[in-house]
Amino acid sequence: MSPTPTNGAWPQLSDDVCLAVRDLSVDYQARRGTVKAVNDISFDLHNAESIALVGESGCGKTTLGLSLVRLLVKQATIRAGHIYYQRGEKKMDVVELGSEELRQYRWAECAMVFQGAQNAFNPVLRISDQMYDTVRAHGPANAREVRERGIELLKLVQLDPQRVIDAFPHELSGGMRQRVLIAMSLLLKPQILILDEPTTALDVITQRTIIDVLRRLKKELGFSMIFITHDLSVAAELADRIATMYAGRIIELGSVHDIFYHPGHPYSAGLIHAVPTVTGAYMELTSVEGSPPDLIEPPPGCKFSPRCAYAADICRGRADPAFGRQPTPGRLSLHGRDTRRPAGQRSLAARARRGSAQEGHMTTPIIELERQPDLQLEGAARPCR
């Protein structure tokens, strides 16, 4: 594929950036009106880096993931923004790609592993045939070579290749299918792997295996990863950086350490609280009060303000909240107000937080928290910006 000329100037990107998202907005056309599912999202994904997108369901993380490979449903449109992709000399704006270029971009440059891989395979074709289909779609393919590569990849994801390669999908268990999909996603050596809830709906042991497999693969093969999860423990294990999403925006983007130890946004802090502890009683589990805002008629001002313990009039009144516009390297604090702990609010300092949000048992310690950090504010008493 030749470098694609893009409309407008190519942004200044350092060489180690493989994907740069700029001001991306996605709308859904619903019966009631326009749902602003993703709003003004910008971030850079570096080579061999992994970013976790976390947030409640409906916050736009899956929409964001799908828009990176332009797999949005018909009712959705990319309203604005750019998705710059570069791999050596290859440079393209994914938003501008024509259908054939887009087809070539998918899976070869950026593969996506979907949530609920139970149904990810055509039930009437063998795994080997589906692998061949994939390679064939991107150029000439030799059935024997594809098979050998497939076997190699199946070994990498800790499956017995002889059993799996000629199986029909229904002959494999859910966890096996998930791993086959991961193996298949690496078939064309893509630079970026997007994983949407890769461990949801699997039992704990299978979750563990998949997390191990992913961590090893990433180290060995050196691809970049964006993975979407609501499970902070998974994020903590696999991610270099965590992006917290709320109401279609990235409200905070920072290193795993920063997000867990110094959450800048009350919502990030709330999410961390929502993780059950190993030993802690259920009473200790505090989720973020309230529910996500209506994205057709969003509340004025800061979208989080109705649920924010620290919200002041200034947060609610502004026409354009404009928080988190530019993710600067490092971490980004979006909440600029003085957020002394309100009375009665439990300490933000995380109790030992670990384990899977799903089961609440059989989990491994993830982070050792030694101190109880307070909210660290960059510029106290500054309005949200």
Partner 1 sequence: MASVATPQTGSRDSMSLGQGLRRLWDSYLFRRILKAIFTIWFVTTLLFFLVRLMPSNPLEIYVQELISQYGIPYQDAMSQAAALFAIDLTAPLWKQYLSYLSGVMHGDLGMSLRSPGTPVTSIIAQFLPWTLFSVGTALVISVTVGILLGILMAYRRDTWTDNGLSVFASATTSIPNYIVGILIIVFVAVRWNWVNFAAIRGSLSPGVTPGFNATFFQDALYHAALPIATYVITTVGFWMLSMRNSTLATLGEDYVTVARARGLSDRRIALHYVGRNASLPLVTAFALAVASIVGGAAVIEELFRYQGIGSVLVQSVFQRDYPVMQGVFLVFTVAVVMANLITDLSYGLLDPRIRISGGE
Q: Which residues bind partner 1 (CB under 8 A)?
A: 69, 71, 103-108, 111-112, 114, 116-125, 133-134, 137-138, 168, 170, 181, 184
Rounded alpha-carbon distances, angstroms, from residue 63 to 159, 197, 224, 236, 249: 31, 13, 19, 22, 11
Q: Helix or strand or coil: residue 19?
A: strand
Judged by beta carbon, residue 143 or residue 205, the one nearer partner 1 is 143
DSSP H/E element including 107: none
Strands 76-87 and 90-93: antiparallel
Question: Which residue in 69, 54, 56 sits closest to 24, CA to CA?
Answer: 69
**Least distance in Å: CB of 97 to partner 1?**
12
Judged by beta carbon, residue 87 or residue 354, the one nearer partner 1 is 87
Judged by beta carbon, residue 71 or residue 309, the one nearer partner 1 is 71
Judged by beta carbon, residue 84 or residue 132, the one nearer partner 1 is 132
Judged by beta carbon, residue 133 or residue 152, the one nearer partner 1 is 133
Question: Which residue in 246, 248, 191, 228 sits closest to 49, CA to CA?
Answer: 191
Judged by beta carbon, residue 80 or residue 137, the one nearer partner 1 is 137
**Least distance in Å: CB of 170 to partner 1?**
5
**Least distance in Å: CB of 1 to partner 1?**
12
First vs last Cα of the chain: how many Å apart? 40
Query: In which residue are the tokens 């313990």 written?
Result: 309
Would you say 45 and 192 are in contact if contact means Cβ atoms under 8 Å apart?
yes
**Least distance in Å: CB of 348 to partner 1?**
39
**Least distance in Å: CB of 44 to partner 1?**
23
Phi first, then psi, for residue 55 (nearest 5°) are: 160, 170
Would you say 33 and 209 are in contact if contact means Cβ atoms under 8 Å apart?
no
Judged by beta carbon, residue 175 or residue 264, the one nearer partner 1 is 175
Beta strands in 76-186 (DSSP E): 76-87, 90-93, 110-113
Rounded to the nearest 10 degrees, how much is the dihedral formed by the CA atoms of 299, 346, 369, 246?
Answer: -10
**Least distance in Å: CB of 28 to partner 1?**
16
Core vs surface per residue 18-42: b (16+ CB within 10 A) or e: bbbbbebbbbbeeeeeebbbbbbbb
Would you say 284 and 351 are in contact if contact means Cβ atoms under 8 Å apart?
yes
Judged by beta carbon, residue 170 or residue 340, the one nearer partner 1 is 170
User: Measured on CA atoms in the order 66, 72, 78, 84, is the torsion positive or negative?
Assistant: positive
**Least distance in Å: CB of 149 to partner 1?**
15
**Least distance in Å: CB of 211 to partner 1?**
21
